[in-house]
Structure 1
Amino acid sequence: MAYLLRPARLADAPAITELLNLVDEIEIGRRETDLRTVEADLRHPETDLARDSWLAFDGDLLVAYGLLWDESGGERIDVDHYVLPAHQAAGVVLLDAMDARALERARANGVTRAVVHLHLNTAPTLDTALIEARGWCVVRRYHVLRRDLDPERDLAPEPPAGVRVRPCASDADRATVHRLYQATFADHFDFQPRALEQWLHDIDAGALDWSLVWIVTAGELGDVGFLLSRDDREAMGWIRSVGVLDAARGRGLGGLLLRHAFAAFAARGRDTVGLGVDTANATGAPELYGRNGMALHYAVDTWETVLK
């Protein structure tokens, strides 16, 4: 079958969103991709759409989509890849193009190889035998967790003595959240250091409701943790990240922030909240989320290949 191939444009965002929702329906049983998320991806500052994006059409139907970006400035390159099950050949064409471009970008960074990462549902529409044959392997697993909300049950918790939770209300607070994020996630798998402006783009700051971002202060330690969430997904409220500095762990601050977010979403009329977590996280995050009523929604694997 001959496919029409071309780069993506911002105007393609609705068609890409529809493709990703078709993939969602197959992989997780419901549509959970929003147009705003796709538009933010297409605007990624480390992506040149003309060279780092690919669309494959069967007639007028978009059947495969790929996107590549480079946050590391070194050998680490990230890609997204989506394909409808009946069009694996289109998926292979995109993989060929993405491999070539990943190696090109890595060499432009002054390194001799590209270490490429791709996130896929554990039961993806892409035939994983195709990527295994190309040298890809799973290096990490993430769980997407969800929790039902009830406005009568999920009430704002009372902080313990000496602890205060405040909303992120100023540019100075945003800089504080950025600093706390960089510090608390520095040892996490796949972490890439980000300057403030880069990080603000990563979280789609222009579309973010900053009243759903909170900072926790603990007495003499000062600002020690944060929770960043958003309420622009149709499927559920979303907690993007939670972090508490090592010096303040063991005081229940992560749970306090979670319960604060649950109450805020419930008060807004949301019936579900979700988040993603690395199953090999060494800080106790999976256990924290489980203790606070979050359960598995679906799982995602990080696949890796090394290109030379």
Structure 2
Amino acid sequence: MTAVLPETHTVRPPTREDAQAILELVSAYNTSVIGFADYTLEDAEDELSEPGFDLATDSWLVFDDDRLVGYGAVFGKGDHRDLDIDIVTAEVDVERWLLDRVLDRAAGFAREYGHAAVQVDTVNYQADVARRDRFAGYGFERGTTFHRMRIDHAGQVAAPDVPAGVTVRRGTPDETSQRAAHDVLNAAFDGQFGFTPRPFEEWKASQENHSAFDWSQLTLLELDGEVVAMRLCNDQFVEDEDCGYVGRLAVLEKARGKGLAKFLLRDQFAVDAAAGRTGTILHVDTNNPTPALGVYLSVGMQAVLVMEVWRRQVSA
């Protein structure tokens, strides 16, 4: 049965000028669930300007008179076989209506890209049990659980020794280095939950659209002249947490077991501490086929927030 909005509600696509209103909506919801906003104006602006994201067809704002009460969006990457959806509202009727719009658009993507079906993923704070139960009722199933890991820095942190035979390349703005990082990322994350390989130009544009990112925060590790590991950081958590953020850390399978991941983590701790950051943050899939969670715990990081990914298949 198709959901219907209350008569007082109106709908329109967002514009980039709506970032502040979306910030206020998302912050209010997050604060009600986890006690803090966990979202910034830059986050909203970046989302609305994501390359390939069509505001007119892929997103919706719902108003009660002049008050924003709902936001929904669907984001595709690469071949659009896996889609990310975002629905934020405190009103169950609005949530159901936005979900119908999002799922219909997902089916449209399936047809456009020639897929019989696509997967849609949405993230839910584990603390929001009511929303979790509603999405289960909508036909979603729990896909995996992510932990936000954090380590605090009290003063300076000693830089680790570089592993034997390894060359460290920091701040790599040239295209050759960017392509090497892209290749390592795709190879190392192949088959992991929710990871969609993206063509190089699409991946690069997405990175450069992120206001908290610049290429100076890309670090590569070489063994015998070959790039075998990469770390991609950004300032996403500087404004609200005063922490550095490890967005991606990848090591090729053939180079694992040599301490490269631990080196990259401890090296970033030293970099963040030297910059005066109070800590370093990253996210880890607890169902990761590599022992990533154990690595992060072994270097002193602790889980500070738990999020679940809920997944549903949508037919064309």
TM over 0.5: yes
1:29 aligns with 2:19: no
Equivalent residue, structure 2, for 1:293: 300
Contact map agreement 2:74 2:102 (CA 8 A) in 1: yes
1:248 aligns with 2:255: yes
Task: Provide the secondary structure at the position in 2 that maps to 1:243.
Answer: strand
Between 1:295-304 and 1:165-174, the stretch displaced more is: 165-174
Shift of 1:289: 0.5
For residues 197 and 67 of structure 2, the distance between their equivalents in structure 1, rounded to whole angstroms, comes to 38
Shift of 1:255: 0.5
For residues 54 and 35 of structure 1, the distance between their equivalents in structure 2, rounded to whole angstroms, comes to 18
For residues 111 and 205 of structure 1, the distance between their equivalents in structure 2, rounded to whole angstroms, comes to 28
1:199 aligns with 2:203: yes
Q: What letter is aligned with 1:20?
A: V
The C-alpha deviation readout for 1:66-116, integer Å capped at 9, x for no partner, is 1112224354322111122xx222111111111111112211222333322
Equivalent residue, structure 1, for 2:172: 169
Q: What letter is aligned with 2:274?
A: A
Task: Provide the secondary structure at the position in 1 that maps to 2:160.
Answer: coil
Equivalent residue, structure 2, for 1:82: 88
Specify which of 128, 141, 154 is matched with residue 145 of structure 2. Answer: 141
Contact map agreement 1:146 1:294 (CA 8 A) in 2: yes
Specify which of 151, 156, 159 is matched with residue 159 of structure 2. Answer: 156
- Structure 1 pair 58/170, CA: closer, same or farther in 2 (3 Å)? same
Shift of 1:294: 1.0
Specify which of 210, 216, 221 is matched with residue 215 of structure 2. Answer: 210
Aligned pairs, number = 304
Identity %, equivalent residues: 32
Shift of 1:125: 8.2
Task: Provide the secondary structure at the position in 1 that maps to 2:287.
Answer: coil
Contact map agreement 1:82 1:126 (CA 8 A) in 2: no
Task: Provide the secondary structure at the position in 2 that maps to 1:273.
Answer: strand
For residues 204 and 81 of structure 1, the distance between their equivalents in structure 2, rounded to whole angstroms, comes to 25
Equivalent residue, structure 1, for 2:285: 278
Equivalent residue, structure 2, for 1:3: 9
TM-score between both structures, scaled by the size of structure 2: 0.90
Unaligned stretches of 5+ in structure 1?
none
Task: Provide the secondary structure at the position in 2 that maps to 1:127.
Answer: helix
For residues 54 and 34 of structure 2, the distance between their equivalents in structure 1, rounded to whole angstroms, comes to 30
For residues 182 and 75 of structure 1, the distance between their equivalents in structure 2, rounded to whole angstroms, comes to 16
The C-alpha deviation readout for 1:42-88, integer Å capped at 9, x for no partner, is 1223321111101122333322211112224354322111122xx22
- Structure 1 pair 188/180, CA: closer, same or farther in 2 (3 Å)? same
For residues 53 and 233 of structure 2, the distance between their equivalents in structure 1, rounded to whole angstroms, comes to 25
Task: Provide the secondary structure at the position in 1 that maps to 2:193.
Answer: coil
- Structure 1 pair 73/248, CA: closer, same or farther in 2 (3 Å)? closer
1:48 aligns with 2:54: yes
For residues 105 and 206 of structure 1, the distance between their equivalents in structure 2, rounded to whole angstroms, comes to 24
- Structure 1 pair 104/206, CA: closer, same or farther in 2 (3 Å)? closer
For residues 78 and 137 of structure 2, the distance between their equivalents in structure 1, rounded to whole angstroms, comes to 26
Unaligned stretches of 5+ in structure 2?
1-5
Q: How does 1:76-155 map to 2 (within 5 A)?
A: 76-84=82-90, 87-124=91-128, 127-152=131-156, 154-155=157-158
For residues 188 and 38 of structure 2, the distance between their equivalents in structure 1, rounded to whole angstroms, comes to 28
Contact map agreement 1:56 1:65 (CA 8 A) in 2: yes
Between 1:131-140 and 1:254-263, the stretch displaced more is: 131-140
- Superposed CA RMSD: 1.9
Contact map agreement 2:59 2:71 (CA 8 A) in 1: yes
Spell out structure 1 runs of 4+ moving beyond 4 A: none
Contact map agreement 1:91 1:126 (CA 8 A) in 2: no
